[in-house]
A and B are shown apart, each in its own frame.
Chain A
Amino acid sequence: MQIELNGKPHPLPDGATLDQLIAGLSLAGKAVAVAVNRQVVPSAQWPARALAEADKVDVVRAIGGG
């Protein structure tokens, strides 16, 4: 299936969970926050959160800014 990750198409195996997506990006344990279709998903819920075709996922972090 294909999801949209940070605004760009991203292929994923069917039925992949949010946890698997984050691990695949080597971001497990990093200071990031995640939302699916603009709903924030707390990290404790990542393993149970299956992704679906065309889901829009945002993965964000803190960077320098005023």
Chain B
Amino acid sequence: MNMNDAPLLIEDKGLTIAGKTYRSRLLVGSGKYKDLDETRAATVASGAEIITVAIRRVNIGQDPNAPSLLDAVPPSEFTILPNTAGCYNAADAVYTLQLARELLGGHKLVKLEVLGDEKTLFPNMPETLKAAETLVKDGFDVMVYCSDDPIQARMLEDLGVAAVMPLASLIGSGMGILNPWNLSLIIEQARVPVLVDAGVGTASDAAIAMELGCDGVLMNTAIAGARDPIRMARAMKLAVEAGREAFLAGRIPRKFAASPSSPMAGRVA
């Protein structure tokens, strides 16, 4: 073998959700950017193929020709993931996604989140389960924001959701991966993709999530709220890739003992 030939690495097979495979394991939100140009630039820099959007009432009387989000990140280029952010019960969440499906021409892949209260934005799991059941029966492919509780995650899986997305810490908090053990329990048992949704603050948080064996990471504030969102988007892309590679490579076990990296034999000392 020529010394200049890099050994062939087995390529990551990609992230498959509801039968479609994506190269990028980073999903991004489109909220909190200063304008649509920045939204687009950061999304492109992140390498993400799936981008979440919110569904809201049109402001009547506002210039109907103002540029819209879907012009900046068109469905021809990205997989649009409509979410139910701001919904506090199952009925509102289902209604929001029925509108989204019509808006996006019959699009089935959606993100369900049913919140419990405004202080924590923690998921209301009984309402989340209720909405998930209705949506699955109605033919939606449902990715679900959920608590990091392996039992609730299994209940969602049993309903037939497309992915479970436990929070790593509170939405928008940037507190990082606070309970890696719970995430590990969910990952270990899961038969559908597990994505960390919420809580990532910086690149190392995303890498840790991927090293744990998560199938992907969804984030918004960590990128949009950074001093330089476009640079942070690239950092997150690299972190998700690095974390995935490290997971596939298999880390060394932790041990409380030193082990020299250089051979002892042949020392001049």
Which residues from 63 to 88 on chain B have a C-beta closer than 8 Å to any C-beta of chain A?
Answer: 64-65, 68-70, 80, 82-83, 85
Q: How many residues does chain A have at the interface if contact means C-beta atoms less than 8 Å apart?
A: 27
On whether A65 and B64 interact (CB within 8 A), knowing A31-B70, A33-B100, A42-B102, the answer reads no
Within 8 A of B (CB), among A4-50: 5-8, 10, 25-27, 30-35, 38, 40, 42-43
Contact of A60 (CB < 8 Å), options: B33, B65, B99: B99
Q: In the complex, A8→B95 CA distance in Å?
A: 19
A34, B52: Cα distance in complex, Å: 20
Shortest CB-to-CB span from B173 to chain A, Å, is 12
A6 to B60, CA, bound (A): 8
B residues within 8 A CB of A10?
60
Q: Is the CB of B220 within 8 A of A66?
A: yes
Bound Cα distance A7, B57 (Å):
9
Q: Check B174 for interface membership: any CB of A closer than 8 A.
A: no
B201 at the A interface (CB under 8 A) = no
Stretch of B2-10, B12-20, B24-32, B254-262 contacting A (4+ beta carbons < 8 Å): B24-32
Most buried by B among A31, A35, A42: A31
Question: When the two chains form their complex, are residues A62 and B55 in contact, meaning their CB atoms are under 8 A apart?
Answer: yes
A64 touches B31 (CB 8 A): yes
A42 to B106, CA, bound (A): 10
Q: A31–B68 contact, CB under 8 A?
A: yes
Out of B31, B55, B98, B99, which one reaches A66, CB within 8 Å?
B31
| A to B CB contacts below 8 Å, 8 in the list | A31-B68, A33-B99, A43-B102, A61-B56, A61-B69, A62-B68, A62-B100, A65-B30
